[in-house]
Amino acid sequence: MQEISEILQFKYTWRNYQQKFLDGFQEHIKDEHLHVIAPPGSGKTILGLEILKRIGKPTLVLSPTLTIRNQWRSRLLEFFTIDGDFNAYSLDIKSPDHITFSTYQSLFSLSRSFGDNAKQQLLAFIKLHKIETLVLDEAHHLKNEWWHCLYHLKEIEGLTVVALTATPPYDSTATEINRYFSLCGPIDDEIAVPDLIKNGDLCPHQDFVYFSKPEEAQIKYIVNYREQILKFTNALIANTALQESLITLNFYIAPEESLEYIYQNPTFFSSIIIYLNSCGYAVNEENLKLLGFSNSDVTFPSFNYEWAEILLQHLLIAQREEFVAFEQVLMPIEKELKRIGVLEHKRVNFVGDEVLYRNLSNSPSKLESIFQIVKHTDEHLGEDARTVILTDFIRKEFLNFKGSETSVLNKLGVLPIFKYILAKQVGKTSLGVLTGSLVILHKTALNKLKKLLTIENLTNAPVDGSEGYVLISVPDVLKNKIAEAVTQLFTEGVIKTLVGTKAFLGEGWDAPCINTLVLASYVGSFVSSNQMRGRAIRVDANNPDKTGSIWHLACLDPTAINGGKDMEKLQQRFDAFTGVSLKDEVYISNGIDRLVLPLDWSESSELARINKNMLLLSQQKSVFKNRWNEAIEEGNVLVRELKIPYGQEQPYAKTKKMHALNAGKYVMLEVILGVSAFVPEFLIKNMGAVLNKGIVQVLYLFIAALFLGFGPKTFKALKLYFLFGNQYKKTKKIGEALLGYLLDSKVLSFESVNATIHSEQNIKGSFSIYLKDASQHDSNLFISLLEEVIAPIDNPKYLLVNGNWIKRKMGIRNYYVVPKDCGKNKTEALLFQKYWNKEVDGSKILFTRTLKGRKELLKARFSHLKYQFEEVSKKAITWK
């Protein structure tokens, strides 16, 4: 029988970036895992088919929906067969063939049908049909109960898992992210958006943000919420009953006898000490000595919201049973937390994620933002405007809203957006609504719609308060057809602004003519945000010069310097995709930094200026097209890098001369110059003493004057050098040590023998480090391990400890982590230490699972308290 790999042949020519990926395919598949990020427009399904063809074993392809499942089949027959002549496939998971296309839901249903012994019978079923390759399409869609089936399948020896996705779920919880990567494996390769734009498969595009302030009632709510929390924390600091209870705890009085408990609950232990320190209690010096400190060695952080959350989460929830004796003290605290809305669903949360975030992200102030974007787009693009607004809810209660009093429209949703735009633009006829259950068009579009549907009668009714607009009743049999017809009206320009739900239009719906997309969605993760962006950045065969504008909305919290939770969520969303910088330096990277936004949002008067500037920049289509072209020419690959922020209080420009001397040397230079000026002045003033008292006494006098005058400055210079000036060099040395280990070790399958360390420092003082001439897999591995080394210490198996007395007295970090994958056993840990000592310093290696090791680990964690809630480093993706 002819082999499947011979029967199925791709009929066309691979694009450059596709061929580049396929060239490295065999290398990636060695570990029986292949995890690929492929953005919309990159031909992900076709690449998946080529992969399973090359593997050549019976394959089960799982998709999130029937529509996508059917796309796999149609792509197979259209691109890999002659006249669709191939039948060794199945759409029924219960009757598999050489290639079986199915859905996650179907696999779950099959598993459930086996009853009590589901796991064993499912594995037996897969083995019976000799399925040896599993393709996971868009695995971020998986619902919780669906994971178990897939984990069961992974137990099959020799099973190859291929995971294809447009966006990994980076903004999910840590548990969900770990689950995703344990199933799909580490990312092996990524098809880059710049390559797609260069090849003409995606259009040049730019992201913009339109900012708004909450309405007065919302501001009052937020301010009141913050005031109540402040009042509560002040009361907590003054709560002598709680303090007197905590100082009686065994692990506080005699920590040496409670090391096991402290080891298991180090952050709780830290929160108690920090709380008591803030209440004015002198921390027991014997306790600190046990951890290797004196009082002068430890700088206690302030008792902030994060520490309060840890303290109260343990006392009130996690370990409530342990503190039964404190019940009379804890009950009033619990009651007050519930009253102000901080304790919900067994979680203490001072930030107010759900309460405040939903309040801001659903703010009606965003309706005005949307209107301004639509108005500006219509004015600028005229007949060529094709705007899509995606949101989460329909809000049918606003269907009969009448008049111009828009303050009644107090929620974000399809109908409030539709009604708000019409109230502001009376007489507008080019607006449309398209959801799974609601279609609204202007009556002037009805005849064209009937022609497209090839029907004479279409039931419709006038929409109250929306003159000229009609609500169309959609029979179930026409649902798909009417969506296609409305899309056609949008393509032709009968509709220029289309409002719809993310669920209906966000994924799978295709209208290449879109040139402006407004993301008015807040429920969805940034996975769905990226899927929605994919609608606007596709090329349009009818408009070869198309550019796409993607608008994001943010309602700023006026009580938060960083803009609040809505802004924080937006920053997470931007981490999911790469784009070209908006202004100034031209580069391609992920993250919101490329928009050059203010760091401090307390000056809300800036909003009007920023919004006006965003609207002006969105007009300059040729500019961001040129910026893409210029940036693409400056690189050829997306690089994973680690960014380390500049962490000093003084502005970087004051402590650094770019491209010359590091911060510490610069200050040292100041000291040297000062001494140079001091010496002649000293000799002139003390000439008499030189002549009368002798050289030895004058030398003593000189040293004393020098120490008093320049000792503090010299100490500061040295500390600054070690803390920051040396950090840039040290991080690079750590990178060299890690690279040396990876090239020598046989455990982690690091294949990039020509890889070299590169580091760059920007004008703001932060620096980045990355590998050059390395595969995507190896770059990802290197960056993940490096991040683990320099991150705040949690619970590593091995620590690197440097006992340098000078550094310890200056508060310099002496502890670093041996990454988990480099410290699986002592042999590997010692190999890592070998390269560390060669490149970095003479640190000792410490096994933390002994009594001595646990003590040292506690000390290390205590040393890192100041880093606990800080962003010490951040992964980034940059085109280089």
Residues 6+ apart with CB under 8 A from 114: 121, 122, 125
pLDDT tens track for 530-568: 777 887 899 999 999 999 999 999 999 888 888 888 888
Report the first-to-last Cα separation within the chain, whole angstroms: 48
156/177: higher pLDDT: 156
- What are the percentages of helix, strand and coil residues in the chain, rounded to 5? 55, 15, 30
Residues 6+ apart with CB under 8 A from 180: 139, 140, 168, 169, 172
676/772: higher pLDDT: 772
Amino acid, res. 574: F
- Report how far apart, in Å, the C-alpha atoms of 422 and of each of 398, 418, 427, 552, 568 are: 13, 6, 7, 21, 31
Task: For residue 145, count other CB atoms closer than 10 A to its CB.
Answer: 11
Output the pLDDT for position 256: 76
Provide φ and ψ at 37, rounded to 5°.
-100, 120
* 375-389, 684-698, 839-853: least confidently modelled range: 684-698
Is residue 583 helix, strand or coil? coil
Is residue 358 helix, strand or coil? helix
Residue 649 has pLDDT above 50, yes or no: no
Output the pLDDT for position 176: 76
Q: Distance between CA 52 and CA 133 in Å, rounded? A: 7
Closest CA to 867 of 301, 256, 388: 301
DSSP secondary structure, 530-572, as one string: HHHHHHHSB-BTTBTT--EEEEEEEE--TT-TT--HHHHHHHH
Query: What does the block give as tokens for 315?
Result: 């006392």
Going from the N-terminus, what domains does the chain have, and what CATH number goes with each?
4-191 (3.40.50.300), 205-215+363-634 (3.40.50.300), 219-355 (no CATH), 661-714 (no CATH), 719-879 (no CATH)
What is the mean pLDDT of the segment spanning 330-339?
Answer: 94
Residue 808's pLDDT band, with cuts at 50, 70 and 90, is low
Query: What does the block give as tokens for 459?
Result: 């039931």
Question: Considering the chain, what percentage of its residues have pLDDT values greater than 70?
Answer: 83
What is the mean pLDDT of the segment spanning 172-185?
Answer: 78
Output the pLDDT for position 603: 66
Provide φ and ψ at 290, rounded to 5°.
-60, -35
Residues 6+ apart with CB under 8 A from 64: 103, 104, 137, 138, 141
Output the pLDDT for position 500: 93
0.75 exceeded by pTM? yes
Residue 417 has pLDDT above 90, yes or no: yes
pLDDT tens track for 270-281: 899 889 989 988
Residues 6+ apart with CB under 8 A from 185: 31, 33, 34, 35, 161, 163
Strands 205-212, 548-555: pairing kind: parallel
Q: Is 650 in contact with 715 (CB distance < 8 Å)?
A: no
DSSP secondary structure letter of residue 657: B
Is residue 498 helix, strand or coil? strand
What is the mean pLDDT of the segment spanning 795-817?
Answer: 75
Output the pLDDT for position 854: 83
Residue 871 has pLDDT above 80, yes or no: no
Q: Distance between CA 610 and CA 594 in Å, rounded? A: 15
Query: What does the block give as tokens for 140?
Result: 């971020």
pLDDT tens track for 229-246: 999 999 999 999 999 999
Residue 528's pLDDT band, with cuts at 50, 70 and 90, is low
pLDDT tens track for 285-310: 766 665 556 655 667 788 988 899 99
* 6-15, 283-292, 412-421, 700-709: least confidently modelled range: 700-709
Residue 658's pLDDT band, with cuts at 50, 70 and 90, is very low
Q: Write a three-state SS string for 283-330.
A: CCHHHHHHCCCCHHHCCCCCCCHHHHHHHHHHHHHHCHHHHHHHHHHH
Strands 99-103, 497-501: pairing kind: unpaired
Output the pLDDT for position 174: 66
Residue 726 has pLDDT above 70, yes or no: no
CA 415 to chain centre: 31
Name beta bridge partners: 208: 551
- H helical segments located in 637-694: 652-655, 663-685, 687-693
Provide φ and ψ at 693, rounded to 5°.
-100, -10
- Report how far apart, in Å, the C-alpha atoms of 300 and of each of 61, 252, 282 are: 54, 16, 11
Indicate left, alpha or beta for 802 from its phi (over 0: left) and psi (-120 to 50: alpha).
beta
Q: In what order do the strands lie in the sheet with 89-90?
A: 89-90, 99-103, 59-63, 133-137, 160-165, 33-37, 189-190
Output the pLDDT for position 207: 96
* 118-122, 188-192, 521-525: least confidently modelled range: 521-525
Name beta bridge partners: 499: 389, 433
What is the mean pLDDT of the segment spanning 732-741?
Answer: 95
Closest CA to 675 of 701, 709, 700: 709
Output the pLDDT for position 655: 40
Residue 315's pLDDT band, with cuts at 50, 70 and 90, is very high
pLDDT tens track for 41-98: 888 999 999 999 999 999 999 998 888 899 999 999 999 998 878 899 999 999 999 9
Strands 844-847, 798-801: pairing kind: antiparallel
645/385: higher pLDDT: 385
CB burial readout 604-615, b (16+ within 10 A) else e: eeebeebbeebb
Output the pLDDT for position 868: 61
- Report how far apart, in Å, the C-alpha atoms of 672 and of each of 525, 575, 616, 666, 771 are: 55, 45, 51, 10, 37
Q: Distance between CA 707 and CA 713 in Å, rounded? A: 9
Closest CA to 387 of 374, 398, 396: 374
Provide φ and ψ at 613, rounded to 5°.
-65, -40
Query: What does the block give as tokens for 585?
Result: 């330096």
Residue 604 has pLDDT above 70, yes or no: no
Residue 667 has pLDDT above 50, yes or no: no
Task: For residue 603, count other CB atoms closer than 10 A to its CB.
Answer: 9
pLDDT tens track for 113-127: 998 888 999 999 999
Q: Distance between CA 149 and CA 384 in Å, rounded? A: 49
Output the pLDDT for position 355: 63
